[in-house]
Structure 1
Amino acid sequence: MAYSFRSRADSDLEFSASELAGALGDSVTVLPLLVALGATTSVSLPHVLVGFGVFQIVWGVYYGLPLSVEPMKALVGLAIVGALTYAELAAAGLLAGGVLLTVGRLGLVGRLQRVVGEPVIRGVQLAVALLLLEAAVDLSLGNLPVAAGGIAVVGLLALVGYRGASVLVVLGLGGIAAVATTGLPTPTIPELAVFPAGSPRVSAAALEGTVAQLGMTVGNAAIATALLCGDLYDRDISADALSRSMGVTCLAAIPLGGVPMCHGSGGLAGKYAFGARTGGANVLLGVGYLALALVAAGALLAAFPMAILGVLLVVVALELARAAFAPVDDLRALALVAGVGVVGLAGNIGVAFVLGTVAFWLLSRKS
């Protein structure tokens, strides 16, 4: 049975089994990243989940579409691997939010994309994927039997056609193991506070991360997502409108304990593939995140098996790497993607981004 009503965008919001399945499709990469972030930084996971819950609902109702609301993967990935503190992550998210809101209002998103170049953006994606893979290996080595069991579950479910659900199953098994250690947490409403996990701090690392993230966000979260809205849902939503909504999200959520968030073409495609057709999927997922925030206790998170977390990060890293290479069919572009990725892994993502942009400009002049 399905229920529906009209959204602000004059589109039906349906609540059905297919919308719920689509909602879960978007959480496959979001939840592992959030759990990893909560386990490796001083972030308040309940506050982060509240931010995701609220803005899933806000943008689902506003646009009337199952738009993805995801972590900004470059920034969150750098925080997980220790390249950014939470204070620097918060500062970078506020800077990115301000830029996205400004360029969206001025209609500059398309111009920024042409200056940076898609291969450079893909290279940043690859660099983050490689950093996450490195962190995943370190975590998995802490308990090889547990990691091997997690890999076996993911592999088995993938073979029988449930690759996306496998991540949720492994996450659930890790949660059960944590509950067995600590007991069921008492539901607690997150305290309303300004910067509950610490004040933001601007640094060279925060600035470098912001520049690298903006390259990814402009290409994937704004332009590619706007194209998919037309391809999958026959809706004309501009990249500049999506840029503005991402700017509002970051500027509103981060002071209340959230993390940098964006839209994403991968999440939108994942929701569609699992059956979501309206913003009702966002409302359902948002309610789920809000409910999860009530029991995301620190003790429960501390007891979560880190080796299982390593397995989940492997899945996220491989998906991000696949997305980086999938649309590249030119050898020079492929070399640029790989080069930016390797330099970002071996040295610094900000430096890799700048060098990649210069290389893209020189290659464009020669052609």
Structure 2
Amino acid sequence: MAYSIGSGADWELDFSASELTGALGDSVTVLPLLVALAATTSVSLPHVLVGFGVFQIVWGVYYGMPLSVEPMKALIGLAIVGSLSYPELAAAGLLAGVVLLVVGRLGLVGHLQRVVGEPVIRGIQFAVALLLLESAVGLSLESLPVAAAGLAVVGVLAVVGYRQSSVLVVLALGAVAAVATAGVPTPRFPELALFPAGEPAFTTAALEGTVAQLGMTIGNAAIATALLCGDLYDRDVRADDLSQSMGVTCLAAVPIGGVPMCHGSGGLAGKYAFGARTGGANVLLGIGYLALALVAAGAVLAAFPLALLGVLLVVVALELGRAAFAPVEDGRALALVVGVGIVGLAVNVGIAFVLGTVVFWLLAREE
């Protein structure tokens, strides 16, 4: 049975079965990244899940459509591989939030996209994918038989047509193994967690990560998502509006234990592919995240098989890498994407971003 609120073409909440399945389209990469982040840093998974639950609901109701709410993948990826501490991640999230709110308010999103250049943004995506893949290999070495079994599950599901759902299956298998080891967690409300203190936060690494992330966010989470809103849902949503909502999300969530969050064209397309057509999918998914927050106990998380975590990161890395190269056709653009990615892996993402932008400007002047 379907339950609907609103009847206009521009705003509606529906709670049908298709909205429920569509909600899963946005969690395919979200949950593996959050579990990996909580397993490799001092972040509190229950607080992170609360943040995602709240803002799935907020933006689903506000826009009346299944707008995605995802982790800022560059920053989260850098934290997972150890390039950013949790305080640095939080600081970068606040910096990104301020910038996104200001540039969106001033209508500067499109101008920034043209300055940076899409090949540089794609190169940053590729760099993060390589870093995640490197970390995945290290985690998989914890138990090669378990990693091989996880990859086999992913491969079989991909062959039979369930490639996107394979990471959720592996995640569920890991959760079952963790519960079998640590026991069934007792549901409890997470206590208030304020901005992490005790370690340096606003460092050079945090600033470099912020700059690199903003390139991806402006290109994918603002401009590409705004275009997709029109293509898939026939909705006129401005990129500057999306920038402001992402800024509000970061500034509200990070100080109380959340992580930097953004919108994203991939999550929006995933929800659409799985059947979501209204903001009801966000409400259902938000409720699901809030429910998970009640049972995301630390002991269970600590018992999650690291080798399976490596498998999850492999899949996420491959998806991110595929997205980086999918729209690239020009030979020089392809070379720039690869170059930025390699520099990001070998040196750091911040330097790769700056060098890539300089090269992009030089190439543009020759045309």
What's the TM-score once normalised by structure 2's chain length?
0.98
Closer, same or farther in 2 for the Cα pair 1:363/1:34, shift >3 Å? same
> Map of 1:1-367 to 2, 5 A cutoff?
1-6=1-6, 11-195=11-195, 201-367=201-367
Q: Which string of whole-angstrom CA distances, capped at 9 and with x for unpartnered residues, describes residues 25-83 of structure 1? A: 11000000000000000001100000000000000000011011000000000000000
The whole-number CA distance in structure 1 between the counterparts of 2:104 and 2:132 is: 30
Contact between 1:91 and 1:202, CA under 8 Å: does it hold in 2? Answer: yes
* Matched position secondary structure for 2:5: strand
* Matched position secondary structure for 1:6: strand
Q: Percent identity?
A: 83
Contact between 1:9 and 1:61, CA under 8 Å: does it hold in 2? Answer: no
CA displacement at 1:193 relative to structure 2: 3.5
CA displacement at 1:192 relative to structure 2: 2.0
CA displacement at 1:16 relative to structure 2: 1.2
The whole-number CA distance in structure 1 between the counterparts of 2:200 and 2:29 is: 26
Contact between 2:140 and 2:147, CA under 8 Å: does it hold in 1? Answer: yes
Closer, same or farther in 2 for the Cα pair 1:9/1:283, shift >3 Å? farther
The whole-number CA distance in structure 2 between the counterparts of 1:200 and 1:167 is: 34
CA RMSD of aligned residues (A): 1.3
Q: Which string of whole-angstrom CA distances, capped at 9 and with x for unpartnered residues, describes residues 257-295 of structure 1? A: 000000000000011011111110000000000000000
* Matched position secondary structure for 2:191: coil
* Matched position secondary structure for 2:4: strand
Contact between 1:39 and 1:302, CA under 8 Å: does it hold in 2? Answer: yes
The whole-number CA distance in structure 2 between the counterparts of 1:353 and 1:193 is: 33
Contact between 1:212 and 1:349, CA under 8 Å: does it hold in 2? Answer: yes
Which 4+ residue blocks in structure 1 deviate beyond 3 angstroms? 7-10, 196-200
Closer, same or farther in 2 for the Cα pair 1:8/1:77, shift >3 Å? farther
CA displacement at 1:216 relative to structure 2: 0.4
* Matched position secondary structure for 2:27: helix
The whole-number CA distance in structure 1 between the counterparts of 2:8 and 2:289 is: 22
The whole-number CA distance in structure 2 between the counterparts of 1:18 and 1:152 is: 29
**Which structure 2 residue ranges, 5 or more long, are not aligned?**
none
What letter corresponds to residue 6 of structure 1 in structure 2?
Answer: G
CA displacement at 1:7 relative to structure 2: 8.9
The whole-number CA distance in structure 2 between the counterparts of 1:101 and 1:8 is: 29
The whole-number CA distance in structure 2 between the counterparts of 1:328 and 1:198 is: 43
Closer, same or farther in 2 for the Cα pair 1:47/1:36, shift >3 Å? same
* Matched position secondary structure for 2:295: coil
Contact between 1:209 and 1:350, CA under 8 Å: does it hold in 2? Answer: yes
The whole-number CA distance in structure 2 between the counterparts of 1:24 and 1:197 is: 34
The alignment of Structure 1 onto Structure 2 pairs a total of residues equal to: 367
* Matched position secondary structure for 2:29: helix
The whole-number CA distance in structure 2 between the counterparts of 1:213 and 1:9 is: 34
CA displacement at 1:6 relative to structure 2: 2.4
Q: Which string of whole-angstrom CA distances, capped at 9 and with x for unpartnered residues, describes residues 176-202 of structure 1? A: 000000110000101124226767710
Contact between 2:47 and 2:193, CA under 8 Å: does it hold in 1? Answer: no
The whole-number CA distance in structure 2 between the counterparts of 1:196 and 1:91 is: 9
Contact between 1:33 and 1:313, CA under 8 Å: does it hold in 2? Answer: yes
The whole-number CA distance in structure 1 between the counterparts of 2:180 and 2:282 is: 31
The whole-number CA distance in structure 1 between the counterparts of 2:348 and 2:155 is: 33
The whole-number CA distance in structure 1 between the counterparts of 2:217 and 2:159 is: 32
What letter corresponds to residue 155 of structure 2 in structure 1?
Answer: G
CA displacement at 1:336 relative to structure 2: 0.3
Contact between 1:109 and 1:243, CA under 8 Å: does it hold in 2? Answer: yes
Contact between 1:132 and 1:313, CA under 8 Å: does it hold in 2? Answer: yes
What letter corresponds to residue 70 of structure 1 in structure 2?
Answer: E
Contact between 1:67 and 1:268, CA under 8 Å: does it hold in 2? Answer: yes
What letter corresponds to residue 341 of structure 1 in structure 2?
Answer: G
What letter corresponds to residue 139 of structure 2 in structure 1?
Answer: L
CA displacement at 1:241 relative to structure 2: 0.1
**Which structure 1 residue ranges, 5 or more long, are not aligned?**
none
* Matched position secondary structure for 1:266: helix
